[in-house]
Structure 1
Amino acid sequence: MDSLRPLLTSYAYNILGSYEEAKDVVQDVMLEMINRTGADIQNQKAYLTRSVINRAINARNRLQKMQAAYPGNWLPEPVATETADAGLNQQDILSYSLMVLLEKLDAKQRAVFILKEAFSYEHEEIAEVLDISIENSRKILSRARKELQNVTVNENVKTPTEYLDRYMDVIRSRDIKKLEQLLSRDIVLVSDGGGKAAAALNPLIGVESASLFLAGIFNKFYHDRHFEYGQVNHHPAIFYFENEQLVNCQIFEFRDGLIHRVYQMRNPDKLAALAEQRNKAI
């Protein structure tokens, strides 16, 4: 049964957007199965998969209610994907940019979209797992695709390390004009501080706003800090440390060689989980 934990955790994480919550969901379902008496389960994998996915949907509904009172922007809990982690199947983890887009969907839409697009479930299988009709599964997927403007789960394209090298060279130079040349015209920068760390309360849109913000925080807080490159949900990332503690994770989405999105994780709770995961994987 333990061999199924990484796959089940991947299902739960993609639905929830929280690795810590996903691990709890899987653990609870497994404990309940161990404690079951007098029940003959013919297909253990199918039973666990169904239980985890539905438990994750319920947990996601609760999480969305909590997010309504969240200070500032809520971003998914990042998962390090540059190193091996026995706790989940990394190839099944969705890209960070897609995880952010999935925040537009309700829990059931999110589950149907993920099962169909990421795990190639047929509608008959989705209907059985979620206890809905096949027609309802099709309708939910159609609404989800419309909400996401028909985005699909694409194969992750590895970004060359030189892209981050170039970014760091330019931002250290304090040349705003050169920094602007690295950014796409419609760049969006989103910060998550969780009310526990300084972060922009609203997304920053456009070259001028994003460049001034990135240059400003680097020159004020990070110019003399230790940093490392890594991968978060298959996106290139920069990890900044203060006294060996992870204090900022910047996640980059590149498009046509330019920085298209920057997601800045400052929430210390999410950073602590990310740091622990990276340390275990090293």
Structure 2
Amino acid sequence: MKNYLQLLFPYAYNILGSVEDARDTVQEVIYKFTSKKVVPENQKNYLIKAVINEAINLKKKKSRTQPMENWLPEPMSTDRSDLALELRELVSYSILILLEKLNPKERAVFILKEAFAYTHPEIAEVLGISVESSRKLLSRGHQRLNEPLNPTRPKSKGDFDVLDRFVSAVRTKDLEGLQALLSEDIAFTADGGDKVKVVKRFCSGKTEVAEISILVHHRFLANKTIRTAWINHQPALIYYYKGKILTCQVFELGQDNQILRISSIVDPEKLKNLTPNE
């Protein structure tokens, strides 16, 4: 069953955006499976189908009970050079954020088609819907996203050079130099959950994002240790103090190496699965 745990995790996580919820979902499905008296002919397909549907139901429940405005997914380290299957199949952090615009079933169809290359007949079988419904859900998902999904950016040491320049600019309060690193429509989102009050949950535009970045750094992060990391296949900065992670900032970079989005995760519940030094 250990292999199944690794196989099933990315299906649940890509739908839920939460490590703990994904693990709980997979474990619940496996527990129910091992309790069955009749073993299905194709165990793998049965478990994938069960996990996806369990994750959809949990996502619906979470959407009703927790505010989703400026909600950020739980980050996962993808620093390892020889990524295991469950890490390779995670969608990028920016795509996880965009998928929050979709309802759970649209999200499931989108992930199965785009991340796992399922055909519409395969999606229909997994979700118990018609092929036509699968096509419509995917089309509706594309329309609701209303922006292109960039493929996972190949890892490059040059990405960390951009982050080094970002840190240098905020440390020296170089507003002009910082703005030069940002795209015109740069977006900044901060998620402190219900435990940490953030200075600003969302802002956009070069001037506002540069100012908030400098303010946050000098008010809260100036004396903290910083390291670069790969989080959900994207470059990130991890800020920690005395062995405790305080902030994870995930960056989306464009083809010209300008920063398109900064996602700042401050919620300690979402940081507990990361470690200061990978």
TM-score by length of 2: 0.93
- Equivalent residues of 1:194, 1:266 under 8 A apart: yes
2-structure distance, mates of 1:152, 1:222: 32
Q: Which residue of 2 is the match for residue 75 of structure 1?
A: 72
CA 1:242–1:216 in 2, change beyond 3 Å: closer, same or farther? same
Are residue 110 (structure 1) and residue 129 (structure 2) matched? no
CA 1:40–1:158 in 2, change beyond 3 Å: closer, same or farther? closer
SS state of the match for residue 94, structure 1? coil
2-structure distance, mates of 1:153, 1:249: 22
- 2:15 maps to a residue whose letter is I
CA 1:4–1:153 in 2, change beyond 3 Å: closer, same or farther? farther
Q: Which residue of 2 is the match for residue 143 of structure 1?
A: 140
1-structure distance, mates of 2:176, 2:192: 28
Question: After superposition, where does 1:109-188 map in structure 2 within 5 Å?
Answer: 109-149=106-146, 151-152=148-149, 154-159=151-156, 160=158, 161-188=160-187
2-structure distance, mates of 1:191, 1:78: 13
CA 1:178–1:86 in 2, change beyond 3 Å: closer, same or farther? closer
How far the C-alpha of 1:254 sits from its partner, in A, is 1.1
How far the C-alpha of 1:98 sits from its partner, in A, is 0.5
How far the C-alpha of 1:217 sits from its partner, in A, is 1.1
How far the C-alpha of 1:124 sits from its partner, in A, is 0.6
Question: Deviations 1:131-174 (Å, cap 9, x if unpaired)?
Answer: 00111111111100111126346142324221112112222222
Question: Deviations 1:214-253 (Å, cap 9, x if unpaired)?
Answer: 0011112211111111011111111111221001011111
- Equivalent residues of 2:199, 2:216 under 8 A apart: no
CA 1:272–1:218 in 2, change beyond 3 Å: closer, same or farther? same
Question: Deviations 1:101-122 (Å, cap 9, x if unpaired)?
Answer: 0000000000001001111101
- 1:48 maps to a residue whose letter is L
Q: Which residue of 1 is the match for residue 63 of structure 2?
A: 64
- 1:194 maps to a residue whose letter is G
How far the C-alpha of 1:183 sits from its partner, in A, is 0.9
User: What 5-or-longer segments of structure 2 have no aligned partner?
Assistant: none
Are residue 24 (structure 1) and residue 24 (structure 2) matched? yes
- Equivalent residues of 1:9, 1:87 under 8 A apart: no
- Equivalent residues of 1:190, 1:200 under 8 A apart: no
2-structure distance, mates of 1:180, 1:167: 9
2-structure distance, mates of 1:41, 1:64: 32
- 1:23 maps to a residue whose letter is R
- 1:91 maps to a residue whose letter is R
- Equivalent residues of 1:5, 1:87 under 8 A apart: no
2-structure distance, mates of 1:219, 1:157: 32
Q: Which residue of 2 is the match for residue 239 of structure 1?
A: 238
SS state of the match for residue 190, structure 1? strand
Aligned length: 275
Which deviates further from its counterpart, 81-90 or 54-63? 81-90
User: What 5-or-longer segments of structure 1 have no aligned partner?
Assistant: none
2-structure distance, mates of 1:218, 1:208: 16
- Equivalent residues of 2:92, 2:152 under 8 A apart: no
- Equivalent residues of 1:249, 1:264 under 8 A apart: yes
Which deviates further from its counterpart, 2-11 or 209-218? 2-11
Question: Deviations 1:47-82 (Å, cap 9, x if unpaired)?
Answer: 1011001001001101111223x6x62111111111
Q: Which residue of 2 is the match for residue 92 of structure 1?
A: 89
- Equivalent residues of 1:117, 1:153 under 8 A apart: no
SS state of the match for residue 62, structure 1? helix
Question: Deviations 1:166-213 (Å, cap 9, x if unpaired)?
Answer: 112222222111111111111100000012112145310111110111
2-structure distance, mates of 1:249, 1:32: 36
